[in-house]
Structure 1
Amino acid sequence: MEVKIESPDKERLSALKVETWPIWTKEISRFDWYYGETEMCYFLEGRVIVELPDGQKIDIKKGDLVTFPKGLSCVWDIKEPIRKHYTFIED
């Protein structure tokens, strides 16, 4: 399972209507997470290291547009408080 990270321009964000997506926030913490649906999110603030089952660590920060695949189990290690827009994508 691949986590996709993009550095979108304003046109891409506008086309996705990111500003209409809900916002999720979370303080510095560490926790297990499972994606029951494919989720796309745009990071407005913060930094997190997402640890995948194979040991890979993905550094995600402000300005990243990330797609997490359905069925992914991972560990979120939030280094700086997170604020992100998110939406779920039909598979």
Structure 2
Amino acid sequence: MPTVKDVVVKKPSEAEMAEAKSWPTWGCEASEFDWDYTQTETCLLIEGKVVVTDRPDSGESVSFAAGDMVVFPEGLACVWKVSAPVKKHYKFD
């Protein structure tokens, strides 16, 4: 089973940013919630700040913010802790 150590956070290239702008958007207010990835998700954060931890908690976490491109592996069970409202472009593989 994947963990937050398998989450990829990077600064996107110009081409990746251009492609991501054609994807749907999703947003949420500051909050905390459980999430299970049934597919691989790639997203580009437009706004916000998030820390994601494993579920159950392994003591590991990954953080990302506006401007980051993030890839979440299929099978990841995690908790999203949104400290600043999020808006993102996303796609599922």
TM-score (norm 1): 0.90
Q: RMSD across aligned C-alpha pairs, in angstroms?
A: 1.0
Partner of residue 63, structure 1: 67
Q: How many positions carry a matched residue from both structures?
A: 87
Matched residues in 1 for 2:75 and 2:43: separation?
Answer: 16
Identity of aligned residues (%): 39
Q: 2:34 aligns with which of 32, 35, 38?
A: 32
For residue 17 of structure 2, give the secondary structure of its aligned residue in structure 1: helix
Query: Whole-Å Cα distance in 2 between the matches of residues 13 and 63 of structure 1?
Result: 9
- Listed as ranges, the gaps of 5+ residues in structure 2 are none
Q: What is aligned with 1:81?
A: 85
Measure the CA separation in 2 of the matches of 1:63 and 1:13.
9
Q: Deviations over 1:3-41 (max 9, x none)?
A: 011111213323xx1111000000000011000110000
TM-score (ref. length: structure 2): 0.88
Pick from 18, 21, 34 the counterpart of residue 19 of structure 1.
Answer: 21
- Give CA-to-partner distance per residue, 1:31-66, whole Å, 9 cap, x none: 110001100000000001101242211111001100
2:8 alignment partner in structure 1: 4
Please identify runs of 4+ aligned residues in structure 1 that moved more than 3 A.
Answer: none
Structure 1's unaligned 5+ residue stretches are none
